[in-house]
Structure 1
Amino acid sequence: MIVRPRRSALYLPASNARAIEKARRLPCDVVILDLEDAVAPEAKVAARAQAVAAVRDGGFGARELVVRVNGLGTPWGADDLDALAAVRPDAVLVSKVDGADDVAAYRGQVVDGVALWAMVETARSVLRLEAIASAPGLGALVLGTNDLAKEMRARLDTERTAFGGMLAMTVAAARAFGLVVLDGVHNAIDDADGLARQCAQGAALGFDGKTLIHPSQIAACNAAYSPAADEVAWARRIVDAFDGQEGVGVIRVDGRMVERLHLGEARALLDVVAMLDARDEPTQPSPRA
């Protein structure tokens, strides 16, 4: 499994050519071209053509390119998937997934070599997290807190008071089955303090990153989800300590017992740091440092 940074995942309407062009220069880790919520029905076909052209033309560099398609139950979903099969984005993100059967239906329509990501944004999806996360062929869970709040009739405050358990359970389901997991968006674009609090909350819960709705949110998100300086130093000590210790399962590092599972985690973290360094982007210490 390739470990890559997914700290910031920016949604863009696939109908907005100017935004797509700008995204090729933005410091986000993931670009999500949206064919679903952000596009009006009368613009769906044109937006699909624009998304296909963007994937085909490339130019996004190290950014992961994902397309969120319309559901198979809509007039546009099947055509979205057919059109994307020819250009092969890094991943296809699907919405309103209620269970393993939905995952299987989409997996059958997404070509091999293209990752399948699923939104967790319905009450049923929360109740079936294990079944969804364990479904064959799934690569990531993406939390959709706006749709979830609407369906639950819950208040979506900055602290996500009504969603604490669901946030943790989504992370647990993803980790249990080796999936990437991204937090939901923060709606208030000008609320820098609220964004910072949500990023810190998501990072503490174990999310890999956060979905965003505006480029101004990228820097704070990248900072919150970048490996902290003390985490990087600890990972290097673990890797150094295990060097030349083949066949040894547990060693002592700085007075702490460290197992080989921690070695794997340390190497994965250092791989992420190396990828960030390769982009010539200074790795900003996380507020968790």
Structure 2
Amino acid sequence: MFDVHVHAAPDVLARIGHDDQIAAGYAAAGYSGFVLKAHHESTVGRASALARSTGLDVVGGITLNRAVGGINPAAVLSALSSGGRVVWFPTADAHTQESAGLPRLGDLDERLDRSVLAVPPVLDEGQEAARNAEFVLDLIAEHDAVLCTGHVSGPECRWLLDRAQARGIRRFLLTHPSYTVPGMTPQEIAELAERGAYVEITAYQLFHQAGMTPARLADVARAAGERLVLASDAGQPDSPEPPAALAQLIDALAGEGLDRGLLRAAAADVPRQLVL
């Protein structure tokens, strides 16, 4: 098993355990590795230290929120040149996050303004931010890294896929596209999966997304087909331990009639080959 999406302390938000505790849980559950994600800092150094100390394949990356300069080619170059494998487009600072009333870094201190981040087609493609997005895509292509869409909108996901495929980027993952943000439908998800995008479903959605049900997640899984990736997105104090969270997601989807072998592959071989 290989989990492409987990959070650990230290972090801006409370987490269920520190890096070493999360890694120990995966080792005890027989995982080969995992991807460590943070919304507001690079996890490349933390992941490298865990890989050396545990023998697991622990992978880090960078999320392009305001704390790292937003859609910042310099931060991406630094992360990928240091061994990072994953680049997430904006999450907590995406314009969708603000409009949906979901947590923002600015929630911690009212002195921080509520600026938001976007990528084309929301932006004028002549703007500096649009040029930076193109530069980031060039870097992802050159390093054969994984492009994750973060919390950007459905149209932005399509734009990213268009530009990624024009550059030959093969490792393209829609970050929980059926989550509140971007809130894509199974039909929209199927369209992008048919074009080559991988599709993530997370245990977090099962436990915390308002109105989400196993049946709705099963519809997304069917839309994804062989491009399905299952992840925990766990680490919250009110979620199960990450390996248990992912196991519960598999059980819930299997209960909706999906093949358990396909589901296990979506939490093991498929994500491992996507990332490594």
Normalised TM-score (structure 2): 0.51
Matched residue, 1:162: 211
- AA partner of residue 21 (structure 1): S
Distance 1:42 1:198, change over 3 A: closer
- 1:198 aligned to which of 219, 234, 245: 245
Normalised TM-score (structure 1): 0.49
1:233-248 alignment, distance < 5 Å? none
| Residues 8 and 30, structure 1, Cα contact 8 Å, conserved in 2 | no
1:83 CA displacement: 2.2
1:68 CA displacement: 1.6
Say whether 1:79 aligns with 2:135.
yes
Matched residue, 1:12: 37
State the distance in 2 between where 1:117 and 1:35 align.
14
Matched residue, 2:222: 172
| Residues 198 and 229, structure 2, Cα contact 8 Å, conserved in 1 | yes
Which structure dedicates a bigger proportion of its chain to strand?
Answer: 1
1:226-237 alignment, distance < 5 Å? none
SS at match of 2:37: strand
| Residues 8 and 28, structure 1, Cα contact 8 Å, conserved in 2 | no
Distance 1:97 1:142, change over 3 A: farther
State the distance in 1 between where 2:71 and 2:148 align.
19
| Residues 121 and 144, structure 1, Cα contact 8 Å, conserved in 2 | no
State the distance in 2 between where 1:42 and 1:72 align.
10
- AA partner of residue 78 (structure 2): Q
Distance 1:196 1:51, change over 3 A: closer
- 2:162 aligned to which of 76, 93, 108: 108
Larger radius of gyration: 1
Distance 1:124 1:130, change over 3 A: farther
Tell me which of the two structures has the higher relative contact order, counting C-alpha pairs closer than 8 angstroms and 6 or more residues apart.
2
State the distance in 2 between where 1:97 and 1:118 align.
10
1:1-289 alignment, distance < 5 Å? 6-9=2-5, 10-13=35-38, 15-25=42-52, 31-37=59-65, 39-41=67-69, 44-55=72-83, 65-70=85-90, 72-73=119-120, 75=129, 76-89=132-145, 91-96=146-151, 98-99=153-154, 101-110=155-164, 111-119=167-175, 120=177, 122-123=179-180, 125-135=182-192, 136-143=194-201, 158=207, 162-164=211-213, 165-175=215-225, 178-188=226-236, 193=240, 195=242, 197-206=244-253
- Gaps (5+ residues) in structure 1? 59-64, 147-155, 208-227, 232-264, 276-289
Q: How many residues were matched structurally?
A: 190
1:198 CA displacement: 2.4
| Residues 207 and 239, structure 2, Cα contact 8 Å, conserved in 1 | no
Distance 1:157 1:107, change over 3 A: closer
State the distance in 2 between where 1:188 and 1:67 align.
22
Matched residue, 1:281: none
| Residues 117 and 140, structure 1, Cα contact 8 Å, conserved in 2 | yes
- Gaps (5+ residues) in structure 2? 6-34, 91-117, 124-128, 255-259
